[in-house]
Amino acid sequence: MHTKRVIPCLDVKDGRVVKGINFVNLRDAGDISEVSSAYDKAGADELVFLDITASSDARDTQLEWVREVASRVFIPFTVGGGIRTVDDVRAILREGADKVAINSAAIMNPQIVSDAAKKFGSQCVVVAIDAKRRPDGEGWTIYKNGGRVDMGIDAVEWAGEVCRLGAGEILLTSMDCDGTNNGYDTELTKAVADRVDIPVIASGGAGKPEHFYDAIEAGAEAVLAASLFHYKELEISEVKSYLRSRGVSVRL
């Protein structure tokens, strides 16, 4: 069995870690470098850092934030937000990130996924998918610009396409479950995991250890959470101990 990963996510706005519910009502959760360092010490397997307003503000990711976090952590580190070109990917990797997460740019220009994978290797390229269930309940569509714009594209179909283009991982966020603590959208997770042959990181909705297990049972190779960890409602060590008790292979 593959070792499953537990990953905290840092949503960053104006240099601060923030967290909301269903992508709105953001509240402060601390300084980027301090939060990153704490997670490194707490046993996180990786970190994901998302500059959540870079795309909607039509600006690049703040490289000094990337540099600061990279200097404080010794675990793999993914950066997303405002990445539009292969040069942007190069700049972020050069500042110390191990992977880049591409969302809006991949939707508007899918070729960037292929180009980045060819240039730096698929293992560096994570495609982030923000998905919301359709009003009729039949499937999910993807959104760009931090969940602001419905693209009308089927999420499962899009996951298959980015896999074909060369993505190494999918960071799959349920907008419906985001920040609710009611559990991941396991139906969405399973639909995407069944469609692709690359790792799927489940994101959005974790509230208790059982939720992490449910997402892994649905096919996730990694489970991501933000507010739950930021506000100390659960420790990473607690999640890992629970998963181990349920027979899941994790790094303690």
The alpha-carbon radius of gyration of the chain (Å, integer) is 16
What is the C-alpha end-to-end distance of the chain, expressed in Å?
15
List the catalytic residues.
11, 130
- Helix, strand or coil, per DSSP, at residue 239: helix
- Helix, strand or coil, per DSSP, at residue 58: coil
Stronger pLDDT, 116 or 50, i.e. the higher one: 116
pTM, two decimal places: 0.91
Q: Which region among 10-19, 34-43, 175-184 has the lowest average model confidence (pLDDT)?
A: 10-19
Burial grade of 137 (CB within 10 A; 0-12, 13-18, 19 or more): exposed
Q: What is the pLDDT of residues 154-180, one digit of tens each?
A: 999 999 999 999 999 999 999 999 989
Report the mean per-residue pLDDT for the chain. 90
User: So what's the pLDDT on residue 15?
Assistant: 67
User: So what's the pLDDT on residue 59?
Assistant: 55
Q: What is the pLDDT of residues 48-71, one digit of tens each?
A: 988 876 655 655 567 888 898 899
Stronger pLDDT, 173 or 226, i.e. the higher one: 173
Distance separating alpha carbons of residues 247 and 121, to the nearest angstrom: 32
What domains, with CATH codes, occur in the chain? 5-245 (3.20.20.70)
